[in-house]
Structure 1
Amino acid sequence: MLALELHVLTPDAWFCDGVAYAKLPWLTSELLPKLVRWAAECKSSEFRSTLSLLPVEKYSLVYQQLKEKYKAMVKVWPEVTDPEKFVYEDVAIATYLLVLWAEERAEKGLTDRQSFVDLGCGNGLLVHILANEGHPGKGIDVRKRKIWDMYGPQTQLEEKAITPSESFLFPGTDWLIGNHSDELTPWIPVIASRSSHSCRYFVLPCCFFDFYGKYQRRQCKKSQYKEYIDFITEVSQVCGFNTEEDCLRIPSTKRVCLVGKSRNYEPSDEAESELRRDRYIKSRQSAPGVAVQRSNVRNDGDCCHGNADSDRTPGDTWGAGFQPREKVETVRNCAGLPRDFVDGVVLRVANVLLGMTAGDGRGSCSDWNRGGSLSVGEVVGLLDQETLQLLKKECGGLQTLLKNNHQVFRVEGGRVYIRDWRDRKSSRVDAKRKPVAPGALKTRPCWFHAHHAQGCPLQAENCAFAHGPDDLRPSTKPLKKKRNDAV
């Protein structure tokens, strides 16, 4: 029988020595039942347990050593990404690989440290750590990051677009790494298998890509993440790997990795294995729902879809149709949409919301019309197909556009509201917003002053936006360049 007791030392105090405590009724009615439920329930995970392929004690020791050694990177991190997350995540991934490789050396009686190539290395920190720990290798990515110059010459990083082909095989490399490698993820087992019979791989899938475009779901009984992991596992097995799955100890929801340490066929069977790989890749290219990207594919006999390929051996042009990402990543957060287009969508949605609880003209602000609310799905129904198609090309689409226009809208719980700037408790963002300082420079017009039937609910001196052209001042700050320093 399971017994659970909760002992409270300060039952009636909200604060003790400056520390806040929950009240006794909440502890007894909320916390204790949840603890009992969590202790009694038995949930089976879709994935393997964490660090199932490694000795956990050894991993923990190495992780603490590396964390202490590289923690200074957090203070000098020059990218726009969160240093706390990315530094310690790469430390954890490096720890996993170092322990995995140490176990491999002990198992096979090896003395030399394994070599590696990190495909799509991003910020390059993983390459830097592995190289510093004595493993010869390099990283390749389509875009150089600012932090690369900080590592020094011992960390080899190449700025180059990777296209799966005979030009990107690594016959002298022990391990290929794909750490959140996006469109390269399904290709990494293929590249490893074609590089040499002894080449191994480690891949940590994140975004869902097929060989020639976005991965399309085919099952509804699994989560999308589980289905994609199973797809990469299938690719690995077709490529001839004895595939193992593990779960990393990292601050990410995408933490399942796949490891191919050995093959399920002999070197003498390479030709037959290559035919199997080739057939599988071609079948994925013609699979229903796969959007093949062909913007850079030539149609002059060098293209794998042309007649000139009839006498080629499998693999000669196996990457044709693959589209690597652009060197300069396009901003797709709705910020690049035409201003007139955005203003039209905002006005259309706001007028419908205000019309749900229409006021009676410019009256007192005490009964200022806050409008009604609509689900994001209902807002979609207000827009024409041409507008929706344009929004689909942006990350987050309509919801991103609405959130970008936070002066007008409040989006919470999948519903859209008119923002009332008098209510500072309407969201955590508003609660943290500081009052307008006297004489503050106002560089944007107030939408409500211009478009709301009752005007702005705030007086001009209390509003962060300009009430009319006389209140508007040009910004004296230089325009900020949009930064897209992905890792």
Structure 2
Amino acid sequence: MCIKFSSVTAVEDERWHSDGIVYPKPTWLGEELLAKLARWCVESRQSGFKSTLSLISIMKYSKVYQALKEKYKDMVKVWPEVTNPEKFVYEDVAIATYLLILWEEERAERGETAKQSFVDLGCGNGLLVHILSSEGHPGRGIDVRRRKIWDMYGPQTHLEESAITPNDKTLFPDVDWLIGNHSDELTPWIPVMAARSSYDCRFFVLPCCFFDFVGKYQRRQSNKTQYRVYLDFITEVGSACGFHVEEDCLRIPSTKRVCLIGKSRTYPPAGEDSVDEQRTRYMNGRRGSPASPPGQRPAPPPAGATAGGADGPQGRGALDSGARPTPESPAEGPWLSGFHPREKAERVRNCAALPRDLVDRVVLQVANLLLGGEHVHTQGSQSGSVKAWNRGGSLSLAEVAGQLDRETLQRLRRECGGLQTLLRNRPQVFRVLNGRVRIRDWREERLQEEKEAEAKRKLFSETFKTRICWFFAHHPDGCALPSDCCPFAHGPGELRPAPTTK
């Protein structure tokens, strides 16, 4: 049995399979589905999103999707990246299917036969570029970082490793479509770049992370979800750039599956100059009214304003903010000051790069707090009575953070997730759930062993006894499990060599 959901909210459920179809568990069907159906039947609220695939033929989509899924299914088997191959392969197949149908119907509307050209800005793994190119559309992808999978596509897939800064050097006058598939900081810029590339250039964006022209997007409303507000913002950007912006909902395994499309303009070609001035004013307006940073000149007054007007200490941005390049503002500079493309080398911010002595010190301190102040040992100890084993209490992350010194907290706050991530990175010692942390009791883990997936059990066996048991080395009562049941080594004599990385 399989169930397909068209509601956007349904994709938030973890039962989604990577091919976009739900395979619910029997327990969920019996305990949750009927209650949900009853609630949905009496709800009268309107969805804030379009119905799925509202702008194209669903019949064509289904046929093309199945054909492309079969054609590119082997990509799952050879995927060299660390990301989930099924999710990324089938998601890009679905996005490619949508674009192929959209472009086919556009050619029919325009009476054209030549397939549309494209540039994918922030193309990532490049699979979308590879599929569209293989289906006959001339195009290329650009991303700040090269991926391992790029070498597998062959010479017909054109991918470039380059940073993208929105300016007059990053225009594409000969391209039909600009694509932004989860393009992060470039997302609000893509309608602008399409509008300024040429009057015939169109755009397709699939927003994910929330970025403004410069920095993170700041939510200004509370009566809508953050996602809905951000989609409205990108729609507003497209409209300010002179596009008729259309919205649709894709059939992909993601909670962020609403796309925005600019296929046509709201003005004739002769109005380009006046509309571009409108774009510039709109981008300047996004800066609000901050004081000019030290060393920067305030922006010139708006049209019709005097030199002594609003451009004092509270003027809008720098001179080149949103303006087209001038002799004083070279074309290589960004259209809006303050924009920075992401770095080529992605910084690891999941606490994995923190000094080992800092991590060990925090782990010992938190364990001591959970054990009620009973200091943990720094040398190995033998396991005591299982019944007397101190499993400690439970504390909120805020309570734990309140016991750490200021310098340690500042270092953790510079990492994504901070203290919570550090503790979750030590699953042998802690369980972190719903904002609370406690000592992991491995006796409970043994009861759950039969429920583990086959792949997890295989990985478990490969790493068996390859690391010293933290509880054997540090807990006042030693390890709660006997040596033959503990997956970790009780002393150096039990250590096995770690499996070699393939």
Same fold (TM over 0.5): yes
- The question of whether the paired residues in 1 share the 8 Å contact of 2:179 and 2:204 is answered with yes
Give the Å deviation of 1:285.
3.7
1:202 paired residue number:
204
The residue correspondences of 1:95-244 to structure 2 (distance < 5 A) are 95-244=97-246
2:342 paired residue number:
325
- Alpha-carbon distance in structure 2 between the residues aligned to 1:252 and 1:168: 30
* Matched residue SS, 1:456: coil
Comparing 109-118 with 316-325, greater Cα deviation is found at 316-325
Residues 124-145 of structure 1: CA deviation (Å, up to 9, x unaligned): 1111111111111111111111
* Matched residue SS, 1:105: helix
* Matched residue SS, 1:351: helix
User: Which amino acid is 2:408 matched to?
Assistant: T
User: Which amino acid is 1:384 matched to?
Assistant: D
User: Which amino acid is 2:172 matched to?
Assistant: F
- Alpha-carbon distance in structure 1 between the residues aligned to 2:473 and 2:255: 44
Aligned: 1:59 with 2:76 = no
- How many equivalent pairs are there? 443
- Alpha-carbon distance in structure 2 between the residues aligned to 1:91 and 1:170: 25
Aligned: 1:368 with 2:392 = no
Query: Structure 1 238/263 Cα, relative in aligned 2: closer, same or farther at 3 Å?
Result: same
Give the Å deviation of 1:303.
8.9
**TM-score, normalization by structure 2:** 0.79
Aligned: 1:400 with 2:421 = yes
The residue correspondences of 1:319-468 to structure 2 (distance < 5 A) are 319-355=336-372, 364-424=385-445, 442-468=465-491
- Alpha-carbon distance in structure 1 between the residues aligned to 2:463 and 2:133: 51
Aligned: 1:267 with 2:289 = no
* Matched residue SS, 1:203: strand
Give the Å deviation of 1:115.
0.8
* Matched residue SS, 1:398: helix
User: Which amino acid is 1:272 matched to?
Assistant: S
- Alpha-carbon distance in structure 2 between the residues aligned to 1:352 and 1:462: 27
- Alpha-carbon distance in structure 2 between the residues aligned to 1:21 and 1:317: 51
* Matched residue SS, 1:153: coil
* Matched residue SS, 1:103: helix
- The question of whether the paired residues in 2 share the 8 Å contact of 1:190 and 1:239 is answered with yes
Residues 69-103 of structure 1: CA deviation (Å, up to 9, x unaligned): 22222222222211211111111111111111111
* Matched residue SS, 1:417: strand
Comparing 381-390 with 335-344, greater Cα deviation is found at 381-390
CA RMSD of aligned residues (A): 3.5
- Alpha-carbon distance in structure 1 between the residues aligned to 2:68 and 2:439: 49
- Alpha-carbon distance in structure 2 between the residues aligned to 1:434 and 1:110: 56
Query: Structure 1 453/477 Cα, relative in aligned 2: closer, same or farther at 3 Å?
Result: same
Query: Structure 1 431/102 Cα, relative in aligned 2: closer, same or farther at 3 Å?
Result: closer
Comparing 195-204 with 69-78, greater Cα deviation is found at 69-78
Query: Structure 1 461/187 Cα, relative in aligned 2: closer, same or farther at 3 Å?
Result: same
Give the Å deviation of 1:33.
4.8
- Alpha-carbon distance in structure 1 between the residues aligned to 2:347 and 2:330: 34
Residues 442-463 of structure 1: CA deviation (Å, up to 9, x unaligned): 4533322233221222234443
Residues 233-262 of structure 1: CA deviation (Å, up to 9, x unaligned): 111111111111111011111001100111
* Matched residue SS, 2:282: helix
- The question of whether the paired residues in 2 share the 8 Å contact of 1:358 and 1:369 is answered with no
Residues 2-23 of structure 1: CA deviation (Å, up to 9, x unaligned): xxxxxxxxxxxxxxxxxx9979
- The question of whether the paired residues in 1 share the 8 Å contact of 2:48 and 2:228 is answered with yes
Give the Å deviation of 1:121.
0.8
- The question of whether the paired residues in 2 share the 8 Å contact of 1:248 and 1:257 is answered with yes
- Alpha-carbon distance in structure 1 between the residues aligned to 2:463 and 2:284: 62
- Alpha-carbon distance in structure 2 between the residues aligned to 1:438 and 1:150: 32
* Matched residue SS, 2:442: coil
- Alpha-carbon distance in structure 2 between the residues aligned to 1:265 and 1:63: 35
- Alpha-carbon distance in structure 2 between the residues aligned to 1:267 and 1:314: 26
- Alpha-carbon distance in structure 1 between the residues aligned to 2:270 and 2:460: 77
- The question of whether the paired residues in 2 share the 8 Å contact of 1:357 and 1:372 is answered with no
2:314 paired residue number:
none
User: Which amino acid is 1:345 matched to?
Assistant: V
- Alpha-carbon distance in structure 2 between the residues aligned to 1:271 and 1:441: 68
Give the Å deviation of 1:367.
2.1
Give the Å deviation of 1:278.
1.7
Query: Structure 1 31/148 Cα, relative in aligned 2: closer, same or farther at 3 Å?
Result: closer
- The question of whether the paired residues in 2 share the 8 Å contact of 1:436 and 1:463 is answered with no
User: Which amino acid is 2:202 matched to?
Assistant: R
Query: Structure 1 288/94 Cα, relative in aligned 2: closer, same or farther at 3 Å?
Result: farther
1:72 paired residue number:
74
* Matched residue SS, 1:422: helix
Query: Structure 1 121/440 Cα, relative in aligned 2: closer, same or farther at 3 Å?
Result: closer
Query: Structure 1 438/209 Cα, relative in aligned 2: closer, same or farther at 3 Å?
Result: closer
2:307 paired residue number:
none
User: Which amino acid is 2:418 matched to?
Assistant: G
Query: Structure 1 274/464 Cα, relative in aligned 2: closer, same or farther at 3 Å?
Result: same
- The question of whether the paired residues in 2 share the 8 Å contact of 1:424 and 1:430 is answered with no
- The question of whether the paired residues in 2 share the 8 Å contact of 1:120 and 1:141 is answered with yes
- Among all aligned residue pairs of Structure 1 and Structure 2, give the percentage whose two residues are the same amino acid: 63
User: Which amino acid is 2:118 matched to?
Assistant: F
User: Which amino acid is 2:349 matched to?
Assistant: R
Where in structure 2 are there 5+ consecutive unaligned residues? 1-23, 297-317
Residues 294-353 of structure 1: CA deviation (Å, up to 9, x unaligned): 9xxxxxxx9947xxx886589874154321122221211111011111112212221111
Query: Structure 1 30/216 Cα, relative in aligned 2: closer, same or farther at 3 Å?
Result: closer
